[in-house]
Amino acid sequence: MATVVVLGAGIAGHTATAFLKKKLGKKHDVIVISPSPYYQWIPSNIWVGVGRMKVDDVRFRLEKVYKKWGVIYHQAKAVSIYPAGDVNNAKPYVMAEYTLDGKIGEPLKVEYDFLVNATGPKLNFEATEGLGPNGFTESVCAYSHASEAWEKLKKVFNKLENGEKQKIVVGTGHPMATCQGAAFEYILNIAYELKQRKLSDKAELYWLTNEFELGDFGMSGAYVKRNGYITSTKIFAESVLSENNIKWIKRAGVKKVEDGLIHYETLAGEYKTQEFDFAMLIPAFAGAGLKAYANDGSDITTTLFAPNGFMKVDADYSPKTYEEFNVKDWPQTYQNPAFKNIFAVGIAFAPPHPISKPQTSPNGTSIFPTPPRTGMPSGVTGKTTAQNIAEWILNGDDSLKHHASMGKMGAACIVSAGFSLTKGQAATMTVNPIVPDWEKYPDYGRNINYTVGEIGLAGHWMKLMLHYMFIHKAKGYPFWWLIPE
C-alpha cells in the first residue's frame, strides 16, 4: 500500500486528490492536510464581494466529500517536511498543526510515500504597510474577505445615495503583485452595480496597477482575435475601462496605505498619493512558509524552496536575462529535483522567471506583475501530477509521461462585468500558450487562432454556468471527471 499526502485543498490540491483517489481506489491511501474546513471556488468570490452571492454559494465542507471518496482528511496546517525521515525512521513525513476547534496547535505527524505540495500562496498583506482587511483596504482573495468587502461597499453605496461623493480604488497593492484579472473583474462588477443603482455620476473609480501597460495581466499581455480583427489586450482593457468611466493609474507600485490614502511609487521614480473611500488591492503572494529538514535535523529549506517560499520543481532556475528566457525553462512534471517523490502544483511551485518584462524604477524598486498560476493552470497541473503519481504506484512507471508546461498549455478566462441574466456582461478570453513562445509563433508569441477575446451577455451566462459546473465537479457528483479543468 502506498500513501500519497496532499497539502492543501484549493483548486490544484482538490483536483489532485480527486484524480488520485479515482485512479488508486481503496488499495492505497490519499491523505489531505488543509487548514480550512472548506473548499472554496475562488473565481466566484468576486460576486460575494458585490453582494450577488452568499458565502455558502462559493464554498462547501471538505469532510463530507472526502469521507464519501475514502480520503483521509486532517484539518491542519503543514509546517515542515522531513523528506528523508529522521534518525529514528527513514520514512519521509510531514509535520502539521491542527486548526480544528478543540485541537488547535496540537502537532500532527503524517508519513508519506509521495507528497503533493498544493498549499497555494500566503496572502502577504504585511509586505505592504497598512494593506488588507487588518489594515485599511479590502480583499477578495478569500470568501471571508469578499464578504467583509461587500459589507464595506454597501456603506459606500449608502453614502452615494445620500449625495456624498466617493472614490473607489481597485487594483494591485504591491509593486510585484499578481492576479490582476481578479481585481479587474471586481472593479467592473462595482461599475455595474453603480449603474444599476444610478450612482455612477457620484462615484470616481480608479484602476491602480503595477502593469507597464493595461491588459498585461502578468503574462506580458497578448494579441487576440476579436470580431475578426487582431487587437492587443492593452486596447481591449483600455476600452473596457473607458466604457465604464474608470480612470487608470499604471506602472504604480504601492508602498504604504493609510486611512484614505494610498502611497505609491511610479516606474518613473515619482512618489504619489491617491485618496480613497473604498479600496480593494490584491496583495503580494509568497510561499506558505514551509520548512524542510534533513534526517539529522539540519535545515534544508533552500534545497526544496526558492527564496520566495515557493517549491522548486523541474524548471530551469539558472540566472538569465529577460531576453534569454525561454518556454523550455518552464516545468513539465512539477517534480522536485532533489526529492523525486515530492511535487508542487498550482501556485505552490516556483516560476523560473517573470513572463512580463521586469521593470525597475530609478529608485531601484521592481514594479511589474509576477506570473499568475491560478484557475485553469492550477487544475491542469493538479490533474497531471495525480496521473503521474498514480501510474508510478500502480505500474511502477516513474517516467512521468504526462506533461503540463505553461509554455504549451492554453488557458481560458472569463472576466465578469456585471451579474444579470439579461443585462450582465463578461469578457471571455483564451490564450495559447500562457507563456509566449516567440520561436514557434514569431508574430504574436501565441497561436492567434486560439487566442481570442469577446465581450457580451453570452460570456456572463458561460461564467455563471461554469460556477455551477465546477462546484458539481469539486463535490464529486456524477461524471465529475468529464468536466475539463
Interatomic CA distance for residues 289 and 8, integer angstroms: 13
Determine the average pLDDT of the residues in 427-455: 90
| Banded pLDDT at 467 (limits 50, 70, 90) | very high
Residue 86, SS3 per DSSP: strand
Residue 300, SS3 per DSSP: coil
Chain Cα centroid distance, residue 484 = 18
Instruction: List, for residues 72-107, the tens digit of each pLDDT value.
Output: 999 999 999 999 999 998 999 999 999 998 899 999
Residue 30: closest CA among 39, 40, 19: 19
| Banded pLDDT at 420 (limits 50, 70, 90) | confident
Interatomic CA distance for residues 148 and 153, integer angstroms: 9
Interatomic CA distance for residues 432 and 223, integer angstroms: 11
| Banded pLDDT at 254 (limits 50, 70, 90) | very high
Q: Find the range with the poorest average confidence among 65-69, 329-333, 411-415.
A: 411-415
Instruction: Say if CB 189 and CB 150 are below 8 A apart.
Output: no
Residue 201, SS3 per DSSP: helix
At 458 the pLDDT is 87
The CATH code of domain 3-123+286-395 reads 3.50.50.100
The domain locations on the chain are: 3-123+286-395
Cell of 376: 485553469
Give the CA dihedral 225, 231, 237, 240, nearest 10 degrees.
-80
Chain Cα centroid distance, residue 162 = 37
At 61 the pLDDT is 98
Interatomic CA distance for residues 178 and 218, integer angstroms: 6
State the chain's mean pLDDT as an integer. 95
Instruction: List, for residues 178-201, the tens digit of each pLDDT value.
Output: 999 999 999 999 999 999 999 999
Q: In this structure, is the dihedral angle defined by the CA atoms of residues 375, 349, 60 and 53, taken in order, positive or negative?
A: negative
Cell of 204: 470616481
